[in-house]
């Protein structure tokens, strides 16, 4: 296809992420959005604000997202003939997805690809981001042909990058101890009801975990699965939770642990507080050594994965 068949506007590339507060003053509004109108008690607000205070008073997620977008766009534009333009939209905070969509319409974008910086599909995550795109289009009475990346949990670059993190974590222990090191792969918990609803989230996570463990050359008894960061709502959430799982492993005599969250692609509060502070406290109580290698952030293998899945969607539009 020649360039003359395309409109003059570039092809839009919309990157979506969870969003994070840029200061502690943002916390009430941020939580109100996440909790979708349900009342947040002062105690919960204070607890979560304090968690953010301990990781530096703001979320590093917006900054990591911008760095991931810049790196991915460089690689994607080098592979694709058409001019591209990147947009960032967050689900729970500024810059909102709906505003990014309005900007795309203002720029005259007619075709776009969209991706969430979360590799696993769920009706409670990726589907909600996509609904916000549709809401943005409808509130602005506009139309853009979108191709959506739904998931990328088995992509080889993503799997290899995390397997490298696993090995890096194990190698943090002295050589003679490495056979005794146990690897915990984890992801954000969701309410148990998603299983009855046929949601693919749990299956996709387990598939990623098996591939990562195999790529890292782990024995079956050398790794296990756990959920983390369950929300504060009364319904049951998928488990085991990281804290109880660590107690269980400790009871079996495991005292050296590497923690690799596989559902998050950058460092933020669910890692920097829930693992680096809360789980480290549990480890200290249990006499365990816990090593947590860095998240994927701008790892070239991960950025290559994002570029590849987006490239396929761009091709589907051309
Ligand atoms: C797969 C689903 C989810 C991912 C991934 C996820 C990432 C994520 N979450 C936070 C911060 C918070 N999440 C909170 C609640 C919450 N999170 C999810 C799902 C995912 N979050 C759910 C279903 C809920 C419960 C919402 C509700 O209705 O109550 C909260 C609020 C406090 C709490 O309930 O714990 C915070 C804060 C970050 C930073 C993040 C990173 C990508
Ligand atoms: Fe969340
Ligand atoms: Fe959370």
The ipTM (two decimal places) reads 0.92
pLDDT at 88: 98
Residue from 191, 270, 296 to probe ligand 1 pocket by mutation (most atoms less than 8 Å from CB): 270
Burial of 174 from C-beta contacts in 10 A (0-12 / 13-18 / 19+): exposed
118, 126 contact by CB (below 8 A): yes
32 lines ligand 1 (CB under 6 A): no
193 lines ligand 1 (CB under 6 A): no
146 lines ligand 1 (CB under 6 A): no
| pLDDT classification of 191: cutoffs 50, 70, 90 | very high
Tell me if 268 is assigned to a ligand binding site. no
232 lines ligand 1 (CB under 6 A): yes
Q: Quick check: 4 pLDDT over 70? A: no
pLDDT at 25: 97
Distance 221 CA to ligand 2 centre (A): 30
Q: Which of 4-13, 183-192, 210-219, 246-255 has the lowest mean pLDDT?
A: 4-13
Percent with pLDDT over 90 in the chain: 94
Of the ligands numbered here, which is closest to the C-alpha atom of 33?
Answer: 1
pLDDT at 26: 96
266-297 pLDDT, tens digit per residue, is 999 999 999 999 999 999 999 999 999 999 99
pTM of the model: 0.95
Distance 34 CA to ligand 1 centre (A): 7
136, 100 contact by CB (below 8 A): yes
Q: Quick check: 6 pLDDT over 60? A: no
93 lines ligand 1 (CB under 6 A): no
78: its two tokens:
């080098």
62 lines ligand 1 (CB under 6 A): no
34 lines ligand 1 (CB under 6 A): yes
| pLDDT classification of 7: cutoffs 50, 70, 90 | low
Q: How far is CA 62 from CA 90, 95, 266, 271, in A?
A: 9, 9, 10, 15
Whether omega for the bond prior to residue 224 falls within 30 degrees of 0, making it cis, is no
Distance 173 CA to ligand 2 centre (A): 32
Tell me if 270 is assigned to a ligand binding site. yes
Distance 235 CA to ligand 3 centre (A): 15
222-237 pLDDT, tens digit per residue, is 999 999 999 988 899 9
């Amino acid at each position: 296809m020649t360039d003359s068949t395309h409109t003059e506007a570039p092809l839009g590339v919309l990157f979506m992420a969870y969003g994070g507060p840029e200061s502690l003053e943002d916390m009430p509004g941020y939580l109100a959005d996440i909790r979708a109108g349900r009342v947040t008690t002062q105690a919960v607000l204070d607890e979560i604000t304090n968690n953010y205070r301990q990781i530096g008073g703001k979320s590093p997620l917006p900054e990591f997202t911008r760095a991931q977008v810049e790196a991915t766009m460089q690689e994607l534009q080098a592979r694709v003939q058409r001019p591209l333009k990147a947009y960032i939209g967050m689900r729970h905070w500024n810059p909102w997805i709906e505003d990014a969509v309005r900007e795309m319409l203002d720029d005259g974008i007619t075709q776009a690809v969209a991706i969430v910086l979360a590799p696993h599909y769920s009706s409670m995550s990726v589907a909600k981001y996509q609904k916000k795109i549709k809401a943005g289009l409808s509130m602005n009475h506009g139309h853009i042909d979108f191709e959506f990346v739904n998931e990328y949990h088995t992509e080889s670059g993503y799997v290899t990058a995390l397997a490298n993190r696993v090995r890096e974590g194990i190698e943090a222990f002295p050589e003679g101890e490495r056979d005794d090191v146990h690897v915990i792969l984890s992801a954000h918990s969701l309410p148990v009801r998603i299983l009855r609803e046929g949601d693919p989230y749990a299956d996709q996570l387990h598939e990623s975990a098996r591939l990562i463990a195999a790529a890292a050359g782990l024995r079956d008894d050398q790794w296990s699965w756990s959920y983390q960061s369950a929300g504060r709502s009364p319904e049951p959430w998928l488990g085991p939770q990281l804290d109880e799982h660590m107690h269980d492993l400790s009871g079996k005599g495991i005292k050296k642990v590497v923690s690799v969250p596989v559902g998050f692609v950058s460092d933020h509060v669910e890692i920097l507080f829930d693992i680096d502070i809360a789980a480290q406290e549990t480890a200290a109580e249990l006499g365990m050594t816990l090593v947590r290698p860095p998240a994927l952030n701008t790892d070239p293998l991960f950025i290559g994965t994002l570029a590849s899945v987006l490239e396929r969607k761009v091709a589907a539009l051309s």
